[in-house]
A and B are shown apart, each in its own frame.
Chain A
């Protein structure tokens, strides 16, 4: 099918709409609509407008982060401290931080890029050290603590069947789920049976996650449609 004529018609209509909206509502909204429709055009087919919008996005994102990190981190924390603090251990520590940061940038030069391993070692070591405790405490111990709890729940002196059955489900599901992830023993017999039940709980978890993911993705689209209908075309309040 020759799509040249329909494509030209779509382009003309879009150009007229953009001109009208620039005149009526200003450049900001028009630019927003232009970029929104440019990205959405990918849904029909990959095209130069989409590629243009994509490359603008990449450049603007990089520039955005560059400016933010300078003002909020490097200037406010590093440069201001070196400029105002008196000479001492703190000043030396921040100078070392600046030197490590500079060493990080040396990764751009292939011959001396190895020097970036030192600041990387700080990042990796710090993350390993902090996560060792936080994940053990919050994600393992606290979760286990909340799983090993009285199954029966009483509300106003009466057995709350909803919570009681729910607590049994949570305890049973957690244990069988953890059994599934134990791969050092073959999943056979009673152990294999527990692992199979664990898979069922995990499937329900993944189904719930899928349902919420659909909600999330649709919300993002609804936001963009709201912008086009409310802010650009002014079809709805």
Chain B
């Protein structure tokens, strides 16, 4: 084929309407929903580490769940929340739910609703066992103030959250009578998609008030918290939807969204890799410098 024609073909390919790319992405994400394939999920050490930290908690331990995310991050974090709540209900761990994001406590109710039988109310049922609000779990709601709320919780949870999400004074809740500050909480399971989130929990609850913290993060935030995991400031990390899928496998959640969506995730990564490869082939074949150079020469 003549060089001019080759360059023309690649240049035409590069100038393709972006809506064609959008269509390709749409098909790549949608098609796997109709494929009955469940690829094997490889478990990473950081997810296993978090799961092992939870396994060390005896029955009756209190787990603080900061729900610091909003609906856009729900595809990644909601499966983690569902798996974590499932684990707590199965192993009699008490849940103290709160949020530094206003949508968090509502997302917590949605996660709880997808685990239990029936609706969220004063009494919920899971696997034949009943759990009572105020004794087995509480939802303290949201407080604006970002890391200053964590700072305040360090001296008094009740002062930071005077009422729960229903407006009930916190000192009327049995579960909160034994909880003054972080010394009375056995584990903090931070579900976070940005600021305020895991980093603030590590800085204050972890390093200042010595709470044990595990983190479930969106994939955008996950790379940033690896240094905290390496330094021992976090017991483990669930990163993105893959982390959610791994955690679902470890907890034993059947048909969880994270696991179901892995095939779509696979196809979408494959198509991005394909686009990058094609784009670079076009770049090098289309008459651009083909030798790799250092920055000082460009």
Contact = CB atoms under 8 A, between A and B. Distances in A.
A43 interface: yes
A135 interface: yes
Nearest to B232: A146
A138 B202 contact: yes
A126 B206 CA distance: 20
Contact of A44 (B19, B72, B162, B261): B19
Contacts of B33: 225-226, 229, 235-236
Contacts, number: 133
B86 interface: no
A213 B220 contact: yes
A134 B147 contact: yes
A29 to B, nearest CB: 15
A216 interface: yes
A76 B165 CA distance: 10
Interface string A39-74: 000011000000000000000000011001101110
B233 A216 contact: no
A77 interface: yes
Given A134-B147, A215-B241, A216-B220, A225 B264 contact: yes
B204 interface: yes
Q: What bracket does the count of chain A residues touching chain B fall in?
A: 35 or more
Contacts of A130: 147-148, 151
Contact of A139 (B147, B203, B264): B203
A187 to B, nearest CB: 10
A73 B265 CA distance: 39
Contacts of A146: 227, 230-232
Interface of B is mostly: helix
A146 B232 CA distance: 9
B286 interface: no
Tell me which of A73, A208, A223 has the highest count of chain B C-beta atoms within 10 A of its own C-beta: A223
A216 to B, nearest CB: 4
A222 B264 contact: yes
Interface string A120-148: 00000010001000110111001101100
Interface residues of B, number: 57
Interface string A86-124: 000000000000000000000000000000000000000
B219 A216 contact: yes
Given A134-B207, A212-B240, A219-B75, 18 more contacts: A68-B102, A73-B143, A73-B145, A81-B162, A138-B206, A143-B227, A146-B227, A146-B231, A208-B223, A209-B224, A212-B220, A213-B220, A214-B268, A219-B218, A221-B268, A222-B268, A226-B261, A236-B34
Nearest to A230: B33
A76 B203 contact: no
Given A44-B19, A73-B144, A209-B223, A216 B76 contact: yes
Given A137-B207, A138-B207, A226-B261, A218 B268 contact: yes
A6 B231 CA distance: 58
A213 B219 contact: yes
A142 B207 contact: yes
A150 B151 CA distance: 34
B29 interface: yes
A153 interface: no
A205 interface: yes
A228 B239 CA distance: 25
A65 B106 CA distance: 13
A199 to B, nearest CB: 8
A17 interface: no
Contacts of B203: 134-135, 137-139
27 contacts: A43-B22, A68-B102, A69-B144, A72-B144, A73-B144, A76-B167, A80-B163, A134-B208, A137-B203, A138-B228, A142-B207, A146-B230, A205-B223, A212-B219, A213-B219, A215-B241, A216-B219, A218-B265, A218-B272, A219-B218, A221-B25, A223-B74, A225-B30, A226-B33, A226-B75, A229-B30, A236-B33
B210 interface: no
B133 interface: no
B239 to A, nearest CB: 7
B120 to A, nearest CB: 17
Contacts of A71: 167
Contacts of B19: 43-44
A14 B207 CA distance: 54
